[in-house]
Each structure stands twice: as structure tokens, then as C-alpha cells.
Amino acid sequence: GDCYAHKRVRSGGETFPSVPRFLSTQRQLYERSFPVYKQPVEVGFFSLDSERNFFNDSRQLRYYVEPGKSPNFSLRDGYHDRFIKRDEGVKEGLDHMLRWILENRTKLQSKNSASSCALGVDFVTWRGHLTKLLTTPYETQEGWLLAASKFGGTIYISEVETEAARVNRESRTERHKEMMYWGYKFEQYICADDMNGVPDQGGVVNTNEAFCTVVQTRLSDHKLLFSGEVDCRDKDPRIPAPACYIELKTSAEICTPKQRSNFHRYKLLKWWAQSFLPGVPQIIAGFRDQDGIVVAVETFHISNISQLIKNEYNCWKPTVCMNFCSDFLSFVKSVVKEDNPRLVHLFEWEPHRDVMFSVHRDTQYTFLPDWYVNSMES
Ligand code: 0WD
Ligand code: CA
């Protein structure tokens, strides 16, 4: 037979010495040993207030207050009268992270002084973008667009909303809009503003407010600097970040074996990927019924999740997620060679397809702002 046709390749289209033009997302190609992933180190944090103003401090960090096993929280409470929603039409790109980098530049540079590039890292991005990469080999519904620019030796990666995502966002049902509020309301039932405080369950939910950790780590030979939003921390001040952080989630209550299987196969994949990346060790999940009443609260330890799912037939594997992400970042490095903040390589992926890219010089895709470029160059 023709063995060549059966040979699986991760990336292709190459005619030496030019670069590959695409990257496969087929799971089998990434089933090898787990890549090096260094323990993430928190190098800083920042806060966004109720008007989305940036502060180079932890003023928005909240403290976890244990809710009890079956607390009967109503997640619908306050949706109509005590809810201020962030304007999702405003695309902030990497701006808050870039602001943090500018204000903490000397700290970063002295930490990474042995390196050739200005910041001493290969990639700067949001944690959420990396989560999408980790789950790509298993994603069958939503594609993504990631813009990449190289500047000062570092590649910045910023998401571009797909057409499909924009259509979805603009056509949400009233029920869906309300359910999006439920996750934030759950946070309010469980978080206090002060170490010795109690949750203010009658207060306003404002989704402009955020506390973000900035971590540095390495995946294979890729040095990463990324930021992610953190819901709250353990009250014990002796636990260092990011080990003290706690991710909060809500999910529909599980009543049937089928629902349990779907939860393991799809939801736990996303939860694992998101928290594993910054080294957040646990998730507190509120399971709610159709009417938005929390009927059970459960803790998931990130380090146990891969054991939990091992009984599912044909389930996701952490090693596939991490190896795909590592190979994608290698692919980006091989493609994005020119150091130019106005040049964008747009990486594009649709389910059941390969990752592809296109090149855009000085277009609407350029995302590194002049205030950042000018300040870094001076
Ligand atoms: O411009 C963009 N395309 C994005 C900007 C996409 C995603 C996030 N952001 C920004 C925002 O400034 C936000 O403050 O990143 C911050 C959060 O970043 P992340 O931690 O990297 O994002 P992700 O892990 O996807 O989400 C963490 C939490 C979510 O919690 P749940 O439990 O639902 O995963 O951040 C919130 C949400 O509460 N969140 C967002 N907040 C603001 N803008 C966004 C968003 N686009 N997406 C999720
Ligand atoms: Ca959350």
C-alpha cells in the first residue's frame, strides 16, 4: 500500500527553507509525553474598578467565605435592579496587560536580565487565549482568530472576535442574558471585600470590576507572560499566590449519568485548562437548578481532575492540550519573524480544519497601541 498517505503530519506545506503554512489540530498527533510546564510564578497583579479604570494594585481582590454544602442561593436575585454590565462592544485587546507591563517594566527586566529580548519572554497574552488553545483539539463548536505581532523580540497574541461569535453575542435570548448573570451573582454570595468581612448579598453586581494576576512560566521552550482574572483568594495569608487563589463556577445540577458524562467530557476540560495554566489549585462549583437556585456546592482540585475523567470513554487528555499549545506556539515563532508592531499575522481556526494564517500590514488588525510602542522604545 501507499504508506505515505497514512503518515500523519502535524504541520505541512513546507518547501525548505520557508515556513509551514498550516498546523493540524488532530488529537492523535499530540499524544506524547507531557511537555515541561514550569510552576507558574506570580510576578504582579492589577485591578479594574467599577468604571473599568486600571490600578496597579490588589484593591479588587476578594476573600473566599465558605458557603456550606446546600446554601439555597437564588442566582436570579438582583438581575433587574442591581446589575451593572460591562460594555462587551468595547474591545480592550491586551491594553490592561500592556499598561501593567509599562508600570512594572524594570521589575520584569531585572528578573529576566540574561535574556536577549527587552522583556525576557517569548509571548505575552491573556490566560483566556491560552485556554482556547489548550481545548482546541477537542473543540467542535467554536473557532477562533488570534492576532500576533512581534515587538522587541516578544510575540504578543490578542484575540479577534470571529463573525460567528459576534452574531451569537448580538442574538442572545433574554434567558441566556440572565443566565450569564448567574455566575457573577454566585461570586457575590461567596466573596467578601475584606479578610474579616462577610459577603454583601444585597449589593450591586458590577462586571466591570476585576482582579487579575500576572504570571510567568515556561511551556517547553516558550517563555510565557500572561494575565488572568481571579475570583477570590483563601483568607489564610500564609498561602502564597497563585496557590491561594480560588476559581468560582456555576453549572446546571447533574441528575442523570448522561449529564455527568457530558460534564466530565466538556465542562471539566474547560475548567481544568483555565485554572491549570496560572496554577490556581481549586474550583468551587455551585450546581443550580432551572430556576437559578444553587442546590449543591462542590470543590474540585485541579490536580485530581485528570483522575476523575479517566473512566470516561474516549475522553480528553491534558497531555494533548499542552502539546498542541506548545506546537502552536512553535508554529507562531516559525511564522512571525519580522519585528514590527504594525505587522499582524492572523491565525485562524475552524473546527475540523487546520490552523491557517494570513498577513496584515498596517490594517485594522494592528493591536499594539502607539502609547505602548513609543513608551517601550524610549
Ligand atoms: O478582548 C478580549 N477578547 C478579551 C479580554 C477576552 C477575554 C478576556 N479579556 C480581558 C478582560 O480585560 C478581563 O478582565 O481579560 C480579563 C479576563 O481574562 P482571562 O482571565 O484571560 O479570561 P478568561 O479566563 O476567559 O475568563 C476569566 C473570567 C471569566 O470567568 P468565568 O468563570 O466565566 O471563566 O473573566 C471574565 C469572566 O468572569 N471574562 C471577561 N471579562 C471581561 N472581558 C471576558 C471578557 N471578554 N471574558 C471572560
Ligand atoms: Ca469564575
Residue 206 C-alpha to ligand 1 middle, in angstroms? 14
Measured CA distances, 210 to 114, 179, 291 (Å):
33, 20, 27
Ligand 1 pocket, residue 166 CB under 6 Å: no
pTM summary value: 0.95
Chain center to CA of 376? 25
In angstroms, the CA 358 to CA 42 distance is 34
Position 107: which residue type? Answer: K
Q: What is the pLDDT of residues 336-363, one digit of tens each?
A: 999 999 999 999 999 999 999 999 999 9
Nearest to 135 by CA among 352, 348, 347, 316: 316
Q: What is the pLDDT of residues 195-251, one digit of tens each?
A: 999 999 999 999 999 999 999 999 999 999 999 999 999 999 999 999 999 999 999
Residue 227 C-alpha to ligand 2 middle, in angstroms? 14
With contact defined as beta carbons under 8 Å apart, do 348 and 359 qualify?
A: no
Residue 278 C-alpha to ligand 1 middle, in angstroms? 14
**Neighbouring-strand partners of residue 223:** 218
Nearest to 74 by CA among 370, 351, 292: 292
Grid-cell match 435570548, residue found: 173
Measured CA distances, 41 to 4, 222, 372 (Å):
44, 15, 24
Residue nearest to atom 7 of ligand 1 (CA): 128
In angstroms, the CA 343 to CA 335 distance is 12
Residue 325 C-alpha to ligand 2 middle, in angstroms? 22
Q: What is the pLDDT of residues 81-103, one digit of tens each?
A: 999 999 999 999 999 999 999 99
Position 242: which residue type? Answer: P
Chain center to CA of 84? 23
In angstroms, the CA 7 to CA 98 distance is 43
Nearest ligand, measured from the Cα of 247: 2
Residue nearest to atom 27 of ligand 1 (CA): 229
Residue 128 C-alpha to ligand 1 middle, in angstroms? 6
Grid-cell match 481571579, residue found: 230
Residue nearest to atom 2 of ligand 1 (CA): 93
Nearest ligand, measured from the Cα of 246: 2
Q: Is 9's pLDDT higher than 80?
A: no
Mean pLDDT check: name the lowest of 69-78, 146-155, 157-166. 69-78
Q: How large is the average pLDDT for residues 14-35?
A: 88
Sign of the alpha-carbon dihedral angle for 256, 273, 161, 327:
negative
Q: What is the pLDDT of residues 253-301, one digit of tens each?
A: 999 999 999 999 999 999 999 999 999 999 999 999 999 999 999 999 9
Ligand 1 pocket, residue 127 CB under 6 Å: yes
Q: For residue 127, give the ligand 1 atom closest to its CA.
A: 21
Chain center to CA of 311? 27
Phi, psi of 151 (to 5 degrees): -150, 125
Sign of the alpha-carbon dihedral angle for 285, 289, 292, 295:
negative
Ligand 1 site-directed mutation target among 46, 62, 126, 267, most atoms within 8 Å of CB: 126
